[in-house]
Structure 1
Amino acid sequence: MVHVPSWRVLAASLFLVAGSGVVAADQRPLPTSQAGTVRGPGHAAIASANYLATNAGLEVLAKGGNAFDAAIAVSSTLAVVEQQSSGLGGGFMAMLHVAKDNRDVFIDARETAPKAVDMKVYLGKDGKPNRDVSTHGPLSAGIPGEPAGLAWLASHYGKLPLAQSLAPAIRVASEGYQPDARFIGTIAENQDVLSRYPSSAAVLLPGGKVPAQGWTLKQPDLAKTLQRLAGKGAEGFYKGDTAKLLVDASRKAGGNWSQADLDAYKVKEREPLRIDYKGYRIVTAPPPSSGGVAIAEVLNILAGYDLGKLDVAHATHLTIEAMRRAFRDHNEYLGDPDFVKMPLDMLLSRHYADGLRATISPDKATPSDLLPAAMASEPGMHTTHFSVIDADGNMVASTLTVNLEFGSGFIADGTGVFLNDEMDDFALVPGQPNAFGLRGAEANKPEPGKRMLSSMSPSFVFGADRTAVIGSPGGSTIITQVLEGILAFIDGKGASAITAQKRYHHQYLPDRVDVEDGVFDAATTKTLTDMGYALHPRSPWGFMNVVTWDHRSNTLEAASDPRRPSGLGKVQ
């Protein structure tokens, strides 16, 4: 079992703000700051989906690391304790703020299609996507980006050696930990798929059965894979023993990976999207994320209204109509910018937003089938997000995924690594839905080395007096969750209130508004229904992790979504 030093237990017990969000207190004076410039808070905050990961980040900060070293520790520990949501076999997108340069940069460690990709293998006899092939087993897996991304963070932005930042994850993998009820429940939900693959069953189905609460999960193969990454950087994963194990396991099980695929993988640094809204600067994800463009489009439309002067129903109506139009566009036009020419100047233009705004009735819903046809998506939930601010004002918003729960369900034998099933995020059959109902266009068709479109939307919000680091899992609902979180922050809410607030979601098709229980009162519900909206009750979604920084009082607040257990588990 993992032994947790006393200072980590103290941090978790005394400074737990919400869920697994932790603020380590050190109240040094805040230097004078100007709007748009971030200075160090003198203390640090981390919000992640699991407290072992949060504590890993704190441990690295205590050893002299910065936010980027902490991000490596959090990501790699989530790869051990939250494998249903992320891992070394997946990828991530991260927004970084480098305080000393007052610079923002977007890290694209999204997965890529293997060179041997063949759309025909994903087709059933009826010409529709074969869901089993595109979501289970090695043919569903893109080439992972997370290991390269972690090595990139260490070599370009961190202060500590990669090995030191990976040490907590290696310790948890080798010594073991007790998974929480949510993790064990996810094993039960996926037992049929996991049992197909002996290497997966050997790790998560001891004795061929779903483990009971109190089970200790040790992962020596995963620890060895992490150790090779720690010792040799990216080459410790994409070359040598790990690479051979990955390729051999994929091919033995019917996959198509090659050493050339692993050799070709590259991390991309991209310029973030920047949006000015109501005196705030939002810095968010560019393609191959569709999220930032959609968020920008919605905010540009809403900029023409004074929502604060409207009742809740009419403010919500205008927001839903903006969502509808943004989702109408986002899958039609967007894809990997290294492969697809996109009309971003148009989509991000205030003039384009003016035109869309003019099509919105002030008191009536616009049926989606009256808008020009486009493809749209259903939500997916199996991702994770964390947010970090360090003592120098460096910030990280990072969203990580393997797509569906446990990705492909397939562990490459000898590695402990679950391969992702991100190939299903391509438009494998244009116009046909994927696992989440995503109906992609030609811009998102699979090609060798191409990155599949994503909704991941890690974001920063900069105001004159306050800053937020925000993001969430949730497939297409990531976009509306982050949008609603940004609007709540601009309205003055702190991290705990942002993560806890009730949510609603519209994505063009299906033409309905998904609503969380209690999001609208009876009067608002009636008004929206009378306007023509179909309100669709749905169980709570998302797992948002937010850090806010109030420059006036020099205070940080970190909060994790209260909708899910925080995984505090048992510590020995």
Structure 2
Amino acid sequence: MPLRALLCLVLLFVAVDACAAAPAPVARQPHPPGAAIASGHARATQAGLEMIRAGGNAFDAAVAVSATLAVVEPISSGIGGGGFFLLHDGKTGKDVFLDARETAPASATPAAFLDEKGELDRDRATNGPWSAGIPGLPAALVHLAQKYGRLPLRTTLAPAIRLAREGFEIYPRLEKGYASRRAVMERYRGTRAVFLADGTPPTTGEILKQPELARTIELIAEKGFDGFYRGDTADKLLAAVKEEGGRWRADELTGYRVKEREPLRFRYRDWDVTTAPPPSSGGVALAEMLQMLEGWDLAKLDSAHRHHVVVEAMRRAYRDRTIYLGDPDFVKMPVRRLTSPDYAAGLRAGINPDKATPSALLPGQPAPLEDDETTHFSIIDADGNRVSATQTVNLLYGSGMVAPGTGVLLNNEMDDFALRPGTPNAFGVMGFAANAPEAGKRMLSSMTPSFIESKDRLAVIGAPGGSRIITEVLVGILGYDAGLDAQQVAALPRFHHQWLPDAISSEPGAIDAATVSALQAMGHAVNVAETPWGNLQTVSWDKRANTLEGGSDPRNPVGSAEVLPSGSH
């Protein structure tokens, strides 16, 4: 990598003031010069480009990318899970947030997840049918295609159907993730039929075929919503959950609906930020953190103080996430107050510029790493449409349970509720009454699909990573603000703080030794050299130079970012 690019890569968190050359004085263009897609798997990126070439728009591409990821990234997402889609219509200028988060079945009361001692039953919360919410992703694909796309579902779902039937090459993340979840996954006959079809666990280089999943997606292509939530697929899902001791009802499937919500919007320096509202906690936390940080010129701070103020902003935002946020259809939240510049100014005033603020002294375990769960993709097309989408089954391979006859791997999103108030979930995040489970309620999420736009530049950004998603997106936006390009933003080293546990997590080399020592002297606990996490995917458009670029996280070797110039469709 050239020296200039290396300097750009570390601009945010070492003492380098500027590196990006000023853009050439070219008039800003009204529309992008083509399409750009970045996703966690090259097959998904190509599926999206296939739709653009077929005359589709960014929303058609999103259906194809999403469904393909559901096939080739079962470790991260699937049609048995859910997600959030942030959309921008280039013609009308309208933004909309599609909430396809899973919902709680009526059987999923807090008491159902406690053992005989009244403690959280961790196995029930994360494995098998009790851990699964009613899936939302199939409804999102249908909604997106029918309301915003140009192409029929039989076209946009064709790449996913083809890959499920013909198979794709297993890559190291799938093999490693299966090994870590093998004991759970092999409890269930439907899972064994898919992942032990040849009698042995998945191995890198083998071809994984999922013919039952292909048929399930075909039914969605043929019948839309009814192809999944009614009829043969629904019957098999209900039977599978019952067989393993869970309790779903048919009306909970037929009653599922995608919610269109108003995105959150706020201003950070020269950027208009459009992001995820509740039941995502990401947008609220992002607004708090960026508006707190607006009080400092980060480029002029030394590395230790730069890290310090960013961490203190993270700490305060994650505390509010824990206390206040939940499903807006069930909980009244002070979102306007939490996202206001005045509130951020008040939080900023409480930050000691030279000393860490201790988090509440509550018991907690170090947050597990979330490098492989969840997936994200970003899209821009030549009409100015754009999509930032994050989808998930929660932990590695979700609940571990495939419903026999469907190929559908069920999520384990119930663990994202506060199943036992004050008890951390699998990501080390606590919650209270606002995020307690109720029938039909959507569990709180950290997914943070976002758009940022200035007069000269536009970027679509998002990431997987459990509770660390929000800080990944934060660091990415700070990178764009510092002048980095899309690939440099995707590669930025990461660090994280989530209020509890009271420690800074950092990737290898993300914070140099001298800065670590200075932070410790300020009172911070620093966990250095943790395993790298996340899988950020971003695309951007330089309006002055009229160029598109994509950035795909180098931590994920099967991800890809591609640009398709206008006229090459």
TM-score for both structures, normalised by structure 2? 0.91
How big is the shift at 1:178?
A: 1.4
SS at match of 2:390: strand
Letter in 1 for 2:349: A
Deviations along 1:250-282, whole A, 9 cap, x unmatched? 111111111100111000011111110111101
Letter in 1 for 2:495: Y
Q: How does 1:422-441 map to 2 (within 5 A)?
A: 422-441=413-432
Gapped regions of structure 1 (runs ≥ 5): 1-30
Letter in 1 for 2:232: D
Question: Is structure 2 residue 162 aligned with structure 1 residue 171?
Answer: yes
* Aligned position for 2:449: 458
Percent identical residues? 56
Deviations along 1:197-245, whole A, 9 cap, x unmatched? 1110111123442133332111111011000000011111101111111
* Aligned position for 2:270: 279
Letter in 2 for 1:418: L
Structure 1 window deviating more from structure 2 (503-512 vs 110-119): it is: 110-119
Deviations along 1:330-375, whole A, 9 cap, x unmatched? 11100000000001122112221121111111111111138x9999
Q: 1:394 aligns with which of 374, 385, 393?
A: 385
Structure 1 window deviating more from structure 2 (76-85 vs 199-208): it is: 199-208
* Cα separation, 1, equivalents of 2:460 and 2:509: 26
Call closer, same or farther: CA 1:373–1:207 in 2, change over 3 Å. Answer: closer
Question: Is structure 2 residue 509 aligned with structure 1 residue 508?
Answer: no
* Aligned position for 1:25: none
Letter in 2 for 1:559: G
Letter in 1 for 2:120: P
How big is the shift at 1:40?
A: 2.3
Q: 2:225 aligns with which of 234, 238, 261?
A: 234
Deviations along 1:398-432, whole A, 9 cap, x unmatched? 00000011111000111000010001111111111
Question: Is structure 2 residue 360 aligned with structure 1 residue 369?
Answer: yes
* Aligned position for 2:149: 158
* Aligned position for 2:105: 114
* Cα separation, 1, equivalents of 2:39 and 2:50: 14
Question: Is structure 2 residue 350 aligned with structure 1 residue 359?
Answer: yes
* Aligned position for 2:284: 293
* Cα separation, 1, equivalents of 2:476 and 2:428: 25
* Aligned position for 2:188: 197
Q: Is the 8 A contact 1:331 1:376 kept in 2?
A: no
Letter in 2 for 1:347: L
* Cα separation, 2, equivalents of 1:129 and 1:321: 31
Q: 2:410 aligns with which of 401, 412, 419?
A: 419
Aligned length: 534
* Cα separation, 2, equivalents of 1:158 and 1:234: 16
RMSD: 1.9
SS at match of 1:269: strand
Q: Is the 8 A contact 1:46 1:54 kept in 2?
A: yes
How big is the shift at 1:153?
A: 0.3
Deviations along 1:84-143, whole A, 9 cap, x unmatched? 100000001011111001111111000000122232221112211111111111111000
* Aligned position for 1:543: 535
Q: Is the 8 A contact 1:329 1:374 kept in 2?
A: no
How big is the shift at 1:190?
A: 1.5
Question: Is structure 2 residue 537 aligned with structure 1 residue 561?
Answer: no
Deviations along 1:443-496, whole A, 9 cap, x unmatched? 000000000000000000101111111000001110100011001101111111
Structure 1 window deviating more from structure 2 (234-243 vs 183-192): it is: 183-192
How big is the shift at 1:560?
A: 1.1
Question: Is structure 2 residue 481 aligned with structure 1 residue 479?
Answer: no
Q: 2:57 aligns with which of 36, 54, 66?
A: 66
Q: Is the 8 A contact 1:331 1:375 kept in 2?
A: no
Gapped regions of structure 2 (runs ≥ 5): 1-25, 561-569
SS at match of 1:168: helix
Q: Is the 8 A contact 1:129 1:434 kept in 2?
A: no
Q: How does 1:188-267 map to 2 (within 5 A)?
A: 188-267=179-258
Q: Is the 8 A contact 1:376 1:440 kept in 2?
A: no
Structure 1 window deviating more from structure 2 (434-443 vs 50-59): it is: 434-443
* Cα separation, 2, equivalents of 1:256 and 1:105: 33
Q: Is the 8 A contact 1:376 1:438 kept in 2?
A: no
Q: 1:552 aligns with which of 538, 544, 547?
A: 544
Letter in 2 for 1:235: D
Letter in 2 for 1:385: H
Letter in 2 for 1:521: D
Q: Is the 8 A contact 1:275 1:281 kept in 2?
A: yes
